[in-house]
Structures are given as C-alpha cells and as structure tokens.
Amino acid sequence: MMISTRGRYALRVMIDMAEHSSGEYIPMKDIARRQQISLKYMEKIMPILVGGKLVEGVHGKGGGYRLTRGPEEYKVGEILRLTEGTLAPVHCIECGAEPCERAGECRTLPMWLELDKVINDYLDSVTLDQLMRPEPGAGVGAGLAI
C-alpha cells in the first residue's frame, strides 16, 4: 500500500480547513495557497470530499468549503479510504477483488488480512483533531494512539 498524492493532499486540506474553521466557507484559493497545492489539483480533490460528505461547498461570492463535522469526528482512515479507494496491502484482499484461486491454500493470506486490519484500525484511531495538535518538541506520531 502506498498513499497517493491525492490522499496526502486531502489530509492536508482537511487539517487546514479544521485549523481555519470559523463556521464560514473557506475559499479554495486560500487553502491552496496555504498548503502550496495547485488550484487545478484542488479542483480534483474537493469534489471527492464533497461527494463523501466530509465537506460542503458553495459557489459564488462568499463561497468556498467548510467541514460538515467537528475535527474530532473525522478519522484519517475514513479520509484515506475515500480518496484512495482501498488501504489493502495486497490486491487479493481489496474490496470487490476477484476471488483468488489460491485463497484456500494460501499460507500468506491470514498475514495480509491481519496487516489490513492493523492498518485500518490504526488509521481509524487517528482524528483530524489529533493531527492539528502535535505536541511541541515531539517526534513523528507523538500523541497518537499506537
């Protein structure tokens, strides 16, 4: 599993929106500028987030985007599954994958299933709220449930 640019940028966008949330709509150009993401790329990410009901948007004067929930209610796993489609470490256990003809005798399948569970459980334990509040002077992942 490799998280794509789309997934990484979507997380940055969501954190940015959470940090700048005042109940008002945030112009996409402001988020793009702060996160150094091109508007063209933002125009690909935002419809995915709107379609997943993670954000809502309004066009026109005073328009932009805002979160539909509080930052503590967003799980990183939810955002990544929406933007990535799957977090499965191997193709054979992806949702909707063709059943593997070797599944009944595959000695590695239980390991892949357990790894998939560990990945999803961990990412579902991390919220936007936690990512907004890194502990000062702490290393990567500090303050997160591991």
In 3D space, the residue among 2, 5, 16 whose CA is nearest the CA of residue 128 turns out to be 16
Is pLDDT above 70 for 135?
no
pLDDT surpasses 60 at 140: no
CB 38 within 8 A of CB 13: no
Residue 139 confidence (pLDDT) = 46
Please give the full DSSP string across 81-143, using - where no structure is assigned: HHHHS---SSGGGSTTPPPPTTGGG-SSHHHHHHHHHHHHHHHTT-BHHHHH-PPTT--TTTT
- 51's tokens: 């379609």
Which residue type, as a one-letter code, is found at position 109? L
pLDDT of residue 141: 54
- Assess whether pLDDT exceeds 50 at residue 146: no
Which residues are CB-contacts of 27 (< 8 A; sequence separation ≥ 6)? 63, 64
Residues 103-134: tens digit of each pLDDT: 888 999 999 999 999 999 999 999 999 999 86
- The answer to which of 22-31, 90-99, 124-133 has the lowest mean pLDDT is 90-99
Model confidence over 33-81: pLDDT tens digits? 999 999 999 999 999 999 999 999 999 888 999 999 999 999 999 999 9
Q: What is the pTM of this model?
A: 0.86
Q: What is the pLDDT of residue 97?
A: 78
DSSP states along 17-46: HHHT-SSSPBPHHHHHHHHT--HHHHHHHH
Q: How far from the centroid of its chain's Cα atoms is residue 56's Cα?
A: 16
